[in-house]
Amino acid sequence: MNYRLFGNSGLRVSEICLGTMGFGTEWGWGADYDTSKKIFDEYAQAGGNFLDTANRYTDGTSEKYVGDFIKYDRDHFVVATKYTLYDKHDLNYCGNHRKNMFRSVNESLKRLQTEYIDLLWLHAWDFTTPVDEIMRGLDDLVRMGKVHYIGISDTPAWIVAQANTIAQLRGWTAFVGLQIEYSLIQRTAERDLLPMAKAFGMTVTPWGALGGGVLSGKYLKQEKGRLKESSPRLQNPRNAEIASVVVDISMQHNVKPIQIALAWILKKHDNIIPIVGASKPGQVTDSIRSLDIELSENDIARLDECSKTDLGFPHEFLNASTTQDVMFGTMQNLLKR
């Protein structure tokens, strides 16, 4: 793999991020210690240095495994973890507020067996904590050396924009990364989240890039996976149609469907680093090979069309030809932008 700068920072990360939510079997699925180590080694040997975990993943086991795996060369690896989700059923053991932020980070540092976290994500917006409290707290963690960079996940675009604007005005550390769900079956982030990230120079690390396995094509063949038959992803006929197009294009390229799904994301956006998970060795290599796939303009057009999402108001209204005509006096095609 090659490497990219992460957002508006000098941090160097690999083109594919390894998601470690499945490191541990506490949630009834995932990989045991030895299998997780093989997955990690496969990723590291391919040049991967960017690992994504969280305090809550497999009840803390994911962080413990990651800590064990990276300690032989800690400074080589870029470790991203998260805070927000509960560690126990107590209101001060969860949420975005300063008390939980510092408590969660200190516990993560112990599990990871490290003195610093490369990238700390706010995991999800709780709609109870003031923005300035969060940004000041995160800035304090950076100044203390416990955290190097910060990012935000699963949060409305207007809140992220507000937070980064406050940070910039007050000289605090700003978010350099955005983590969201994004895939061929979930493109609503194109309405506001992706344009906002681009405007602020943020790198986007999408989770669910394979649609929970829907885009692998296995459910079209009635194979079993993590998704239950009642899952909304499987009950949506449109998702099956998108998966069918992905499978068809993969057959033309003689590659696996997941590689087409990832190649589409990488081709569409230059500020995206997909998070890929694995439950057994070999899956990581399959994902990394998506970097070498050259999709044709026709491939991209087919994938775009079958997965097209209505951007809603005001985007559809502002992009309409009639609106453009009255805003630019029918001369919009002459304006270089």
Given a contact cutoff of 8 angstroms between Cβ atoms, the answer to whether 209 and 179 are in contact is: no
Which strand (E) or helix (H) includes residue 50? strand 50-52
Q: Of the residues 43, 57, 65, 83, which is catalytic?
A: 57
Taking CA atoms, 332 is separated from 4, 314, 317, 323, 337, in Å, by 35, 19, 16, 11, 10
Query: Residue 184's CB: how many other CB atoms inside 10 A?
Result: 24
Q: Active site includes 149?
A: no
Percentages of the chain per state (helix, strand, coil), in multiples of 5? 50, 15, 35
DSSP 210: T
Q: Could you tell me whether strands 275-276 and 203-204 are parallel, antiparallel, or unpaired per DSSP bridges?
A: unpaired
Residues 205, 13: Cα–Cα separation, whole Å: 11
Given a contact cutoff of 8 angstroms between Cβ atoms, the answer to whether 274 and 262 are in contact is: yes
Alpha helices, H only, 74-130: 98-112
Residues 180, 62: Cα–Cα separation, whole Å: 20
Residues 56, 44: Cα–Cα separation, whole Å: 24
Query: Residue 73's CB: how many other CB atoms inside 10 A?
Result: 10
| Nearest to 182, CA basis, from 201, 160, 200, 197 | 197
Taking CA atoms, 29 is separated from 23, 196, 198, in Å, by 9, 35, 35
Which strand (E) or helix (H) includes residue 141? helix 131-144
Amino acid at 292: D
Which residues are catalytic, by number?
Answer: 57
